[in-house]
Copies of this chain bind each other. A is one copy, B any other.
Amino acid sequence: MTQISPLAPEHIVDLPPVAGVRLAATYAAIRYKTPRPDLMLALLDEGTTVAGVFTLSLAASAPVERGRWALKAGGGKARALVVNAGNSNAFTGKSGEKAVDETVAAAAAVAGCKPEEVFVASTGVIGEKLPFEKITAVLPDLAEKAGDGGWDESSRSILTTDTFAKRTFRKVQIGGKTVTLSGFAKGSGMIAPHMGTMLAFLFTDAAIAPDVLQTMLQAANDKSFNAITVDSDTSTSDTALLFATGKAGNASIESLTSEDAETFAAALDSVMLELAHLIIKDGEGASKFVAIEVTGAADDAAARRIGLAIGNSPLVKTAIAGCDPNWGRLVMAVGKAGEKADRDNLAIWIGGVLVAENGEVSPDYREPPTAEYMKGRDIHIRVDVAVGKGEATIWTCDFTKRYIEINADYRS
């Protein structure tokens, strides 16, 4: 929480309460020596539905495996969420599973629910035993304290190397009722230094059936958290959970095709995209926010892979850090993506200016104005690979000396 990212928003919004959700956070001294909130509890009213998406890592943490299980075993119902920062409880073997069991049992006791209605998430150091006693000891106090006003402290309690809190909300009308959707996230790199994890928690008072909620979450996730990259590294703990308490009083959304479903899905897409962009804006060492739009690909999946090849290329990202409109490196990255592209009809725009077309530099291109554009904080790159109608946009940041400092000097 030292030097705030130069890309941080000027104003960090306050989150409004969501009917059916009570929150509290505290300092449980899990790892940090200077007191700061590092543990949160959310209590969810009876009838709350839940959807979740998790890391694809094959070395997923114990809390992630528990979350996947609870989602199935609980039938899409949730009553409590416990999150700690400072220790990710990843690569901790049997002791990691025990820490999850004990935390879940204590949370189920204070929430008065079944273990499969409790979700847990942990972020922080990998490979050290999670001191779960520090968590279970304070859960009764947290449950007592939990209320409408815990949003600020809770959204800060999940941060690790983040330099600012990432949160936003939307209010929409559904079936004549005002529905609130509030969310907060953490992440400063797909995985932060030795402090894994992208986490996002979303709460709404809308009434939505679990299967509909899950489909909406996955669709929004593909367009937001799955479309950003800081350093191409995948955390062992990535988790996004969406809770719907049903307290807004709307007729429950039971199908994806209704107008209500579309209204809510649009709000969800918008909130998750904003949170995803905030994570990029807090990317380790980031000095520029970069949108990479790929068009003309064989299909949308191919466009996505080409976008990620560009967004993950160290040579592209260092060129951007150096304010260099180095389109040769964009061509290189398209070539390595392994997706169909028509080299001799490739076109590239930087900041809307046509830089290359028909497989070579555009005859009208003059570098000085584009070099000037590259000095800005928001960079837009478009590549058309001229083989089809697939398209996708990927967001990333640049790759600076500060990234190396943060990650190489972490322990020194």
Contacts and interface: CB of A to CB of B under 8 A. Distances in A.
Given A93-B359, A360-B91, A322 B412 contact: yes
A314 B315 contact: no
B335 A58 contact: yes
A127 B57 contact: no
A331 B126 contact: yes
Given A58-B340, A125-B328, A360-B127, A403 B318 contact: yes
A319 interface: yes
A48 interface: no
Contacts of A344: 93
A90 B331 contact: yes
A254 interface: no
A91 B408 contact: no
Contact of A408 (B324, B332, B408): B324
23 contacts: A57-B336, A58-B334, A59-B331, A91-B328, A91-B343, A91-B356, A91-B360, A126-B328, A126-B329, A127-B356, A127-B361, A191-B315, A232-B312, A233-B314, A234-B336, A236-B331, A314-B403, A315-B407, A322-B409, A322-B410, A324-B410, A399-B404, A401-B405
The 10 closest A-B pairs by CB, nearest first: A59-B335, A126-B328, A322-B408, A57-B335, A234-B336, A318-B407, A93-B360, A321-B408, A318-B408, A93-B359
